[in-house]
Amino acid sequence: MNIHEHQAKEILREFGAPISEGFVIFKPEDIDHRLKKINSNNLVLKAQIHAGGRGKAGGVKLVSKSDAVKEAKNMFGKTLVTHQTGPEGKVVKRIYVQEAYDILKEFYLSCLVDRESSKIAFIASTEGGVDIESVAKNHPEKILTTKVDFKEKLTNAEVDKVISLFKFNETQKKEAVNLINALFNILIKKDASLIEINPLVITKSQKIICLDAKMNFDDNAIFRRPEIQKLRDINEEDPSEIKAKKHDLAYIKLDGTIGCMVN
């Protein structure tokens, strides 16, 4: 099961990870009275859909506070077509409004279940803000994968290895240790199968911020995670897959008249 970026960030916040300051709106008029919570005059409006590539499709806009309402109205109801939505696209029904940061560096960080080794894998790269697949293809030397066992707690040596590519200073290392432990605990305690921070940034004030966040959860474990089940947005799911779930069928719709059903 997928969730939205703003929901993923709230889970990260719950576990002590540093996230961007922001809020979600479900209609343009909601934005006015909530802007007071953000000190910066520069904002980013981010369409909340279950797909990557939002920026290239017009789903991420850098705006001033004075233009925020107008730009939000333009974004609501817009159909975004990305490489992950298919030609039909996805309609924007909620927007995440966050403070715009002066970024010094961008990194990639993820934590996932590695089924081949039956371990948890951390993937780190100095190439943040781009598709990790293209980095793996063109610059594999810029990716570090660290696999750890399922256990109660990571060792200091394991955490140090995960973040070794980033060359953090001592203050940033302390923040990064909290972040790595947060990802590890979310994966285990919430039955997540993938947590992706892309990009993880260092601001010009030397702060570490999770600027974007993606989380997937194991469908087979949702029955014991009612707090995660509540985050489900069926507007983002294919109707045929929703119907299949009602009958406990694992069905994935593919292009054309092809589907994948595995039970």
pLDDT tens digits, residue range 231-248? 999 888 888 888 988 888
| Residue pLDDT, tens place only, 90-116 | 999 999 999 999 999 999 999 999 999
User: Do residues 5 and 96 touch, judged by C-beta distance below 8 A?
Assistant: yes
Catalytic residue among 101, 108, 158, 175: 108
User: Residue 89 burial by CB count (10 A; 0-12/13-18/19+): exposed, middle or buried?
Assistant: middle
Side chain identity at residue 242, one-letter code: I
The phi-psi region of residue 89 (left if phi > 0; otherwise alpha if psi is between -120 and 50; otherwise beta) is left
| Residue pLDDT, tens place only, 198-232 | 999 999 999 999 999 999 999 889 999 999 999 99
User: Do residues 215 and 181 touch, judged by C-beta distance below 8 A?
Assistant: no
| Residue pLDDT, tens place only, 21-34 | 899 999 888 888 78
Sequence-distant (6+) residues with CB within 8 A of 227 are none
Is 152 annotated as catalytic? no
138 pLDDT exceeds 90?
no
Q: Considering only CA atoms, which of 154, 213, 220 is closest in space to residue 181?
A: 154
Catalytic residue among 127, 158, 175, 196: 196
The phi-psi region of residue 141 (left if phi > 0; otherwise alpha if psi is between -120 and 50; otherwise beta) is alpha
Is 108 annotated as catalytic? yes
C-alpha span between 36 and 21 (Å, rounded): 12
Bridge partners of 110? 123, 196
Q: Considering only CA atoms, which of 195, 221, 213 is closest in space to residue 18?
A: 213
Q: Considering only CA atoms, which of 39, 75, 30 is closest in space to residue 55?
A: 75
Mean pLDDT of all residues in the chain? 91
* H helix intervals, the chain: 5-14, 68-75, 132-138, 156-163, 170-189, 226-229, 239-246
List the structure tokens of 15: 């576990």
Average pLDDT over residues 35-49: 88
Q: What is the pLDDT of residue 198?
A: 93
Average pLDDT over residues 135-151: 89
Q: What is the pTM of this model?
A: 0.90
C-alpha distances (whole Å) from 101 to each of 90, 128, 138, 234 are: 27, 15, 28, 32
